[in-house]
């Protein structure tokens, strides 16, 4: 049956930024589809672990600071120690620093790029090496943004890094398709997460945003679950190098 193509039974998924927000929502969605989930975050993933335990799923936490590529080997080794293989990587972790471009510091620029772009590439590279070694293909899913398509305001480094993710997704898809590795991305719209708390607390800005979203609401972590399961499953085996907007219609406006 076609629904069987969406099952992730026996698959192992690494999700970065797993302790809260979109990462947490995607962890739960992947676990509900049958995957064993390794959640990577700087802080405790106890809440995510509890949510997955409620659905009798399997979850292992790896505490790591993704501002440094030095943690990558440990993420891979802990995943292999826990479950013996890797099938799916979701590069969700990201940071944002808001400041007028004229005042933006080199330190803030480097901090954003370290997590949002550099770590994404080198963790993807490490996972791809393991997928090639296993010889069964796999899925890499990057989390892009509406600002992969638009300029934004007061977030120059974030916009640049997320635009880079759209291009990187295409580049890796081109190179790794021969190994049966599909590389795609999800571009969330305006979601109710920590990153948008400042915007949601600004009544005027929040109203402006909601007025443009055809769906008429902020997105939620649950809105990401169907798309991430699809891109992680056999149902998307002929989808490669594409970025899917989950935005309530924002880009269509």
Query: Which contacts (CB < 8 Å, 24+ apart) does range 193-199 have?
Result: 193/20, 193/21, 193/22, 193/221, 194/20, 194/21, 195/21, 195/94, 195/96, 198/98
Gap between the terminal Cα atoms of the chain: 36
* Residue 179 is a catalytic residue: no
- The answer to whether the Cα torsion of 236, 238, 242, 245 is positive or negative is negative
- C-beta separation of 183 from 140 below 8 A: yes
**Candidate list 83, 113, 158, 190, residue with the active-site label:** 158
CA distance 122 to 73: 10
The torsion angle over the Cα atoms of residues 37, 38, 41 and 42, rounded to 10 degrees, is: 150
CA distance 143 to 165: 8
CA distance 167 to 46: 34
Helix (H, G, I), strand (E, B) or coil at 200: helix
Catalytic residues: 158
């Amino acid at each position: 049956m076609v629904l069987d193509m969406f099952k992730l039974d026996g698959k192992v998924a690494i999700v970065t930024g797993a302790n809260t927000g979109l990462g947490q929502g995607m962890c739960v969605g992947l676990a509900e589809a049958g995957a064993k989930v390794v959640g990577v975050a700087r802080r405790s993933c106890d809440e995510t672990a509890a949510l997955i335990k409620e659905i009798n799923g399997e979850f292992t936490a790896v505490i790591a600071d993704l501002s440094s590529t030095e943690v990558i080997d440990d993420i891979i080794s802990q995943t292999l120690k826990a479950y013996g293989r890797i099938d799916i990587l979701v590069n969700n972790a990201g940071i944002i620093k808001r400041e007028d471009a004229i005042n933006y510091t080199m330190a803030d620029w480097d901090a954003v790029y370290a997590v949002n772009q550099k770590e994404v590439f080198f963790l993807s590279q490490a996972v791809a090496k393991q997928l090639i070694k296993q010889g069964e293909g796999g899925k890499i899913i990057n989390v892009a943004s509406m600002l992969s398509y638009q300029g934004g305001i007061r977030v120059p480094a974030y916009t640049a890094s997320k635009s880079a993710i759209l291009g990187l997704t295409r580049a890796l898809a081109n190179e790794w398709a021969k190994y049966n590795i599909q590389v795609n991305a999800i571009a969330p719209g305006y979601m109710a997460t920590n990153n948008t708390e400042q915007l949601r607390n600004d009544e005027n800005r929040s109203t402006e945003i909601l007025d443009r979203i055809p769906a008429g609401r902020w997105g939620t972590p649950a809105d990401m679950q169907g798309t991430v399961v699809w891109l992680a499953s056999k149902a998307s085996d002929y989808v490669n190098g594409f970025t899917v907007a989950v935005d309530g219609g924002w880009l269509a406006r």
